[in-house]
Structures are given as C-alpha cells and as structure tokens.
Chain A
Amino acid sequence: MTLDSKIPSGPLAEKWTKHRAELKLVNAANKRKYHVIVVGTGLAGASAAASLGELGYNVTAFCYQDSARRAHSIAAQGGINAAKNYQNDGDSVYRLFYDTIKGGDYRAREGNVYRLAELSNNIIDQSVALGVPFAREYGGYLDNRSFGGAQVSRTFYARGQTGQQLLLGAYSALSHQVGLGQVQMNSRHEMVELVVINGRARGIIARDMVTGELKRFIADAVLLCTGGYGNVYYLSTNAKGCNTTAIWRAHKKGALFANPCYVQIHPTCIPVSGDHQSKLTLMSESLRNDGRVWVPKKAGDNRPAGDIPEEERDYFLERKYPSFGNLVPRDVASRNSKMVCDEGRGVGSSRQAVYLDFRDSINRLGKDKIEERYGNLFQMYEQITAENPYSVPMRIYPAIHYTMGGLWVDYNLMSTIPGLFVLGEANFSDHGANRLGASALMQGLADGYFVIPYTLGGYLASGGIDKTTTEHEAFVEAENSVKSLVDKLLNIKGKESVDYYHKKLGKIMWNKVGMARNENGLKEAIQEIRAVRDEFWQNVKVLGSADELNQSLEKAGRVADFMELAELMTVDALHRKESCGGHFREEYQTEEGEALRDDENYAYVAAWEFAGVGKEPVMHKENLMYENIQLSKRSYK
C-alpha cells in the first residue's frame, strides 16, 4: 500500500484555495439524495453535522452521552488559537503555521498545518456569529491570552470554559438542523462496528445503550469524530467515557492507525491522591501566563512553600528556558517537572508534584484580576484539594491529556478506507509529535466547519457508490460479530471487574509507555499487556444482560479495545528510535536531557495496518516533506 497524502501541489499559501476550486461539487438538489453518518458530537462532529445538514445532506449523528452537548470538548478550559493578530504583536498565518510545526517537533505535514492556520481566523468569526461570548476588552474588542510554545498572544477564550462555549455554539447550530429535520440525532448510541461494502465505508452498527438493541445504519459516507484514546492509561484528563472503540474497530476493518505512540502529557494537572482516584483534573495551561513553576533547590526540603525563601527556590523553567520561561510547550514542561521530582525535589506528601505559584502575580495585578482570569479554575482546585491557591501555591504534576496519534487521513481527511473520514482528535493529522495548547479546539472546528463540507462533496461527486441496503451480508456479518463479542464478554463470568483490568493496563502504560520510554521497558510492556489481555478474556466479570442499560458491558467493550490498542502504541514507541515531542526515548537525548530527534531516519508518519490480535502489525511509511520550513533543533532556550 502506498500512502498518498494528496497534498495539492503549488505554493503553500495557495494549496487549499486551489484544492477547493478543483474539488468536484455536489449540486444543491443532489445533496439531499446523500446520506452521511457522523459519529461523535464534540467540536469536530457537531460542527461537521451542522455544516453538512445546512448544506442539505441527510445526516445521522451519534453520541454515547445523553445529549450531544456533553461531548468531552465541553471540558476544554483555556482557549483556542487564531492568527488574527488583533494584538498587533506580529502574528500571522505563517507564524501560527510555523509555531505549530515546530511545536509538533517537525512531525506534521506542512500542507495540513498551513490550512489549519489559514482557517483559524474563520473559526473565531463563525463562533462569534453563533453567539460564543468570548472575553472582551473594555473597548469591546476581543481579548487574547498567551499559551505555550508561542511568543505572541493569539489565544481567544471564554473565561475558563472555552471548550464549553465553542461546543455550545456548534451544538446550537446542530440543534437548529435537528429541529429542521436535516440531522437525525441519536444520543445514548454507541458505534460498535463499521460496515465496509465493496471496499467503501457504508454504514455502522450502533448499540442503543438504553435497550441494548443493535441497529444498522446505512450511508454514503461515514465520519468518525470520536475523540482521543488517552483513557488507555486509565487515569487521564479525559472524561470517563472517552474511548477508542470507533476508530479501533475501523482500524481492524482496514483503516491504518498513524503514530499511535504520540501522546501528550499535560504538565499542569492536580496530582494523584490515592488508589481510588478515577480521573485526573487539568489545570489549564493558561495559568502559566501568571503562575510560576518552582521546586525547592534542596532535595527533601519539607518546609511549607511559604517558608522557603526566594533564594532557595528553583524556578526551573525560567532558569532553563529564559526566552519562553513558564510558557514552554507541554512536553518540555512535563519532562522537566518529572526530572526535578526524580531528583527528589518534588513537593507535597507524594513528592510527585511541583508548585505553580501565583504569589507574584497577585502582588502585581491584585487578587481581583487573578480571580477574573482564573476564578473557576481556582475554585475547582480548592474543591478537590481543600487548599486555597490564592494563599498557597498549587501543586501540579503531569498527566495524560491528549493523543496526537489517530487514524491516518489524507489531506481530504479520508482514511485508507474510501468513504471513511476522520475528524478532530480521532485523526492524526495536524499536531505531529506534540500539540500546542489551544490548537485542538481549532483543529476540531476547522475540520468540521470548513474542511469536510468541501472534501466530502469531492468524494461523493466522484461517484462509484453502489446502491445497497442494510440487508447486505456485510451488515449481517458486522451485527453478528458484535453479538458474539457481547456474548463472549457476558459469558466469561470471571472473578475481576472491568475496572480492575483497566487500572492494571493503565499502570503498565503509564510506567512503561508514558513520559519516558526505553527499549527494555517497552519490550516488557508488550509482554505485560498481552498477559493482562489474556487474563481479561479469561477472568473478567461482566454482570447483567445484553438487552438492558448495562454500564459494565459498555466499559468492557471499550477496555477490550484499549487492551489491543495498548500493544500497538507500544510497538510504535519501540520502533521509533528517536525522541520527538511527547515521545521521549531515554536512549535518545542530548546531554542536557532534551529530546534528540533523528530526522534522517524518522521524518515520517508510521501508519500501521492491523494483522490480527497479538500479531506484528505492518508499517507503512508516509515520508514528511518539508518544502517551506527548515528542520532544526527545537529550542525554547
């Protein structure tokens, strides 16, 4: 298989315009003859479903929550980037493009990233038109803040609830289309299988999560907008239901999975406090605008933060990276926090934390200003830790947050299965080996509002989609395979719960395929993952039946997929003998402990083909071409 990224030829800045002009169109009257399935209603899915509905396509949308508005995009706090240059501080489409490529440690495609930067401005316009109440300056103009990896202020925000507001904007547009009958919304429905007919994606099997019924849905194209797979680690900042099921099952049906080992570990999360912990809470990156990260200079210093004098504090990010200071990209900040903790300089009872201190900003700007900027985050922190961050510094530690890897897609967002498109965090496309803050919201909405309406039309108008029905044997087979999977899970009747195995898997992944990886650890991880997976299939206990609301069964299906994905992530991490972005191999670092890339051998996308559970997957390479940017050492010093 040769992977064709379908990046249009011509100058970078003209690629998208040219491509749009060349794409075939579906005429207005014909759009209503086409049926499109959109799985997921986060920023990517809601914006796609709304846009396609508005264009006149018949859309059927799905989400596993009880309402489309509850997709995990709702939890994004800090903001969304755009190259508006409203601050007159030197921003431009090119600079956003450059920062994103560099931030991704030169492992993303130039063409895609440039398009993303180009579309970023339209997103802000569109969102404002839909009623997103972004923060405003007193003159009435939109306000901005800064995020990591950028020296300009280009992040738009709505308090600490930017994702919520953007999603509610897209959800309202979606609701409008549902009201008009253009979109049929199926909440509490989980996609459990992809249906491929004559090599094309033609439908899905979804489980009605209230009745347990398996339903067949047919379409001319299927869009997966199902979010990231960070929950493979059990503990992450993702919502409890976030899963890999949709993309994993599509992968098993032939869609290649790209760069699965690229995982983002977010530096500022509330540290783990005990075994009972069910999820980790993020403290937005925006806090690093005004908070200073430090640990005591001396290992094992037990004094309370306030008793440690200035000269005995190590503001290690400011010290090591004077030009970006506390606003270095996430991978750099996370790794440095881990390093100081490994040196015994961590704080708090577990010693697995560093301080994020607002003392100086409160003195400089006043408590009110800090409260206006971050009030809800401070409150959230206090709820969880019972400590008041206005008077004592926050304790933070890195946590799994985002997955840059995902299904491989070309410039049109189409996977290796014709008719199967993948949008948002579920695809691999734009962030390389590390995503910059405030860029995921941007990508989700760019994909849904502005890319797919064109590229989907191009696919449909090219023809070749046969007539078929849900009686086709592929539908029958897909439904039967889900049935037997469900039966199998219910009939193991073992001794341990699904969560037990999920936690076990998560520990292996965090310890060996987490923030720092090495060859031995990864090899061990593969064996350990296989062992837990075998044990899971022999000893998991899933109570209840298939034909009822059964949350254990839902979890079991998701964890079963994580068990397989985990192995692929590890294989990918093992094969990539370099450090880049979120993928840090201990064997490949500079003397100062910075990631050491190997552009000569690894400047490619690793796209994996499924070969069977426990079988070595087949790798396909897409070489990354840099025509506009010179690959260089990523420095934030």
Chain B
Amino acid sequence: MNLTLHIWRQKDARTKGKFVIYKVENVHEEMSFLEMLDILNEQLIAKNEDPVAFDHDCREGICGCCSLYINGRAHGPKRGITVCQLHMRHFKDGDSIWIEPWRARPFPVLKDLIVDRAPLDRIMQAGGYISARIGSAQDANTILIDHDTAESSMDAAACIGCGACVASCKNASAMLFVAAKVSHLGQLPQGKLEREKRVLAMIAQMDKEGFGGCTNTKACEAECPKEIKITHIARLNREFLRASVV
C-alpha cells in the first residue's frame, strides 16, 4: 500500500516545529508501524534528508519507549497496544496518517517525535518504592498474599510508564500513572507501611512537575496500552484522602 504521512518535525527543544508531508510506498500489511517508519527513514537517508527521530527499543510493547500520537490517538487506533505492536494491516492503501509526539507541557519535545519524560522518573524517586533494605528480607512465603490481591496488584503494576495517559488527557494529568504505582504497592502487605508517605510524596511531585488534575474524562483508560483501569485513580483518591486526614 501507499501512504501519505504528515509528520511533526522539530529540530530541538528550542526550535519551532511543523508538519511535513511524506509519501511512503510499498508498505506491506504485516509490517509494524515502526517498520513502516524505518522504511521512510531509509528513503529519507537515500535522499540525504534527516531521518525522523522517534523513541523505540523493545518493539514488543513492554519497555514503554515508543510514544507516537497517531491520527489524534496515543499509540494509534487499536486499543490495548503500544505503537510498536501496531501493524499496518489496520491501515489501507491511500490513507493519510498524522504522526505527532506526546503533547503535554511537562514533556518538552527534544526532537521530532521524541519528548522528555523525566518528570515521571522524578515522581517515582519521590515515593514510588518500598524501603526494603537489600539483604535483610525474610523468607518470601512468610507473609502470605492471597491470589486475588496479588493479581489485582499485578494489574496495576503492568504500567509501562509510557506516558500515553498524560498525552491523551486534556489536563495533561499523570493521575493514572501515579495511581498505578500507588495501587500496585499499596495493596501489598509489604507496601502498606509506607502508604501515606508514598501517596503524599508522589502527588506533591506530580503537582510540582506541572501535571494537571483529573476530571474523570477517562481518556487515559481508553488509551492506556496496558488497559489500566481508572478504578485505580479512585483508589488513589481514597489513599490520598486517608493520608491527608491521618
């Protein structure tokens, strides 16, 4: 198939960007979206034009590097996958495709489709952990965790930290990201001791980074490639309230 791509090109954080139109030919339906971009880049290089920069690494939906906004949706049109898992069979010959970086004030564009997501790391550094001294852990079966709690914690822990939730939220809120971590750790007996401290520190850092608040539009849930539910945000709110009063 042949496609017309409208791609956001931006030299660096200080330079203004713009959409540039490219044609790509001979795209096969079993290619992944990123492989389609690889082909475009090979074509650009052949013409001595600067290839399009985009973040990617594992190309199997787990590292959270890839971060493209495609036709107005984080990670493209399919639910529950990252853009590296998106295949061209979901497009058809003659399609026009708009490709943009994550857009959110806390995520400045570094080049083309690459943004700086360091604020998410700083939120984790503020409190997204359990303080367990290395080397002093007791036998893992000493504290039992029932099957359903472990599964529910795992549902939240599946977050890959890609930032799609932020990019798709009109408030650029990082609530789903924070909620996933608070819910993952807070449900486990090992994580309960620090639950108040954790939620307060993470929320404070989130605010400091300039992420917006949550107004329950659920765009994050719809676009999360790991289908993390906003019920975790409800849990986050409860945890926050609880920590604020005790």
Q: Do A and B bind each other?
A: yes
Q: Which residues of A contact B (CB under 8 A)?
A: 47, 50-51, 54, 65-70, 72, 74-75, 84, 86, 122, 124-131, 133-142, 158-159, 161, 164-165, 168, 171-173, 175-176, 178-179, 185, 187, 210, 239-241, 273-274, 276-279, 281-282, 379-380, 383-384, 386, 449-450, 453, 497, 499-500, 541, 543-544, 548-549, 551-552
Are A549 and B111 closer than 8 Å at their CB atoms? Answer: yes
Residue of A nearest to B45 (CB): A497
Task: Find out whether the CB atom of B118 lies under 8 angstroms from the CB atom of A86.
Answer: no
Q: Cβ of B56 < 8 Å from any Cβ of A?
A: yes
Known: A129-B190, A210-B110. A273 touches B140 (CB 8 A): no
Q: For B214, list chain A residues within 8 Å (CB).
A: none
Interface centre among B45, B110, B131 (most CB of A within 10 A): B45
28 example contacts (A-B, Cβ-Cβ < 8 A) are as follows A54-B134, A67-B120, A67-B161, A70-B63, A70-B161, A74-B64, A75-B62, A86-B141, A126-B135, A130-B190, A131-B191, A168-B157, A172-B130, A175-B124, A176-B129, A185-B121, A187-B121, A239-B59, A274-B28, A274-B30, A278-B32, A281-B59, A282-B60, A384-B87, A386-B30, A386-B87, A499-B38, A548-B11
Chain B residues with CB below 8 A from A171, complex form: 124
Is there contact, CB below 8 Å, between A74 and B62? yes
Point out which of B137, B151, B188 has the most chain A C-beta atoms below 10 A from its C-beta: B137
- Chain B's interface size range is 35 or more
A449 partner, pick from B31, B134, B161, beta carbons under 8 A: B134
**B164 interface residue (CB < 8 Å to A):** no
**Is A380 in contact with B60, judged by CB distance below 8 angstroms?**
yes
Task: Give residues 26-73 of B contacting A (CB, 8 Å).
Answer: 28, 30-32, 34-35, 38-39, 42, 45-46, 48-51, 53, 55-65
With contacts A276-B31, A278-B38 known, is A65 near B63, CB below 8 A? yes
How many pairs of A and B residues are in contact by the CB < 8 Å rule? 223
Segment 116-137 of B: residues with Cβ below 8 Å from A = 116-118, 120-121, 124-135, 137
Given contacts A136-B150, A551-B51, contact A276 B38 (CB under 8 A): yes
Contact A273 B30 (CB under 8 A): yes
Closest CB of chain A to B75's CB: distance in Å? 12
For B155, the closest partner residue in chain A by CB is A133
Within 8 Å by CB of A129, from B46, B64, B128, B137, lies: B137
Do the beta carbons of B58 and A72 come within 8 Å of each other? yes
Across-interface contacts of B150 in A (CB, < 8 A): 133-136
Given A70-B58, A278-B32, A548-B12, 19 more contacts at CB 8 Å? A67-B117, A67-B161, A70-B57, A74-B63, A126-B134, A127-B140, A131-B157, A131-B184, A131-B190, A131-B191, A133-B150, A136-B147, A172-B124, A239-B57, A274-B28, A276-B39, A278-B38, A383-B81, A551-B51
Residues from chain B with a CB closer than 8 A to the CB of A548 are: 11-12, 111
Once the chains bind, are B125 and A178 in contact (CB under 8 Å)?
Answer: yes
Instruction: Find out whether the CB atom of A551 lies under 8 angstroms from the CB atom of B58.
Output: no
| Nearest CB on B from A42, distance (A) | 11
Residue of A nearest to B187 (CB): A133
Does B117 lie within 8 Å of A72, measured CB to CB? no
Judge whether B153 and A133 touch: CB under 8 Å. yes
In angstroms, Cα B114 to Cα A65, docked, is: 12
Q: B residues within 8 Å of A by Cβ?
A: 11-12, 28, 30-32, 34-35, 38-39, 42, 45-46, 48-51, 53, 55-65, 80-81, 85, 87, 89, 110-111, 114, 116-118, 120-121, 124-135, 137-141, 143-147, 150-151, 153-154, 157-158, 160-161, 184-185, 188, 190-191
Among B62, B129, B138, B147, point to the contact of A161 (Cβ < 8 A): B62
Instruction: Output the nearest chain A residue to B186 by Cβ-Cβ distance.
Output: A131
Which listed residue (A75, A138, A278, A282) contacts B63, Cβ 8 A? A75
Q: Across chains A and B, which 9 residue pairs bring their CB atoms closest together, nearest first?
A: A140-B144, A179-B125, A172-B129, A129-B132, A129-B137, A125-B137, A128-B140, A136-B150, A239-B57
Contacts of B87 in A (CB 8 A): 383-384, 386
Q: Identify the closest chain A residue to B56 (Cβ).
A: A240
A165 proximity list for chain B (CB < 8 A) = 154, 157
Measured between beta carbons, the chain B residues less than 8 angstroms from A75 are 58, 60, 62-63
The answer to whether B161 and A126 touch across the interface, beta carbons within 8 angstroms, is: no
* Chain A residues within an 8 Å CB radius of B157: 131, 133, 158, 165, 168
List the B side residues contacting A450 at CB < 8 Å: 135
Q: Cβ of B59 and Cβ of A278 under 8 Å apart?
A: yes
| Contact between A175 and B125, CB atoms less than 8 A apart | yes
Look across to chain B and name the residue whose beta carbon is closest to the beta carbon of A52: B134
Residues of chain A within 8 A (CB-CB) of B30 are 273-274, 386
Q: Which residues of B lie under 8 Å from residue A74 when comparing CB positions? A: 58, 62-64, 160
A142→B89 contact, CB < 8 A: no
- Among A50, A54, A134, A551, chain B packs the most CB atoms within 10 A around the CB of A551
On whether the beta carbons of B140 and A453 are closer than 8 Å, the reply is: no
> Is B62 a contact partner of A128 (Cβ separation < 8 A)?
no
Residue of A139, A185, A276, A499 most packed against chain B (CB within 10 A): A276
Q: Is the CB of B146 within 8 A of A138?
A: yes
Kindly name the residue among B87, B125, B127 whose own CB sees the greatest number of chain A CB atoms within 10 A: B125
What distance in Å separates the Cβ of A531 from its nearest Cβ neighbour in chain B?
A: 22
Contact B51 A543 (CB under 8 A): yes
A50 lies within 8 A of B134 (CB): yes
A319 to B79, CA, bound (A): 42
A287 to chain B, nearest CB (A): 15
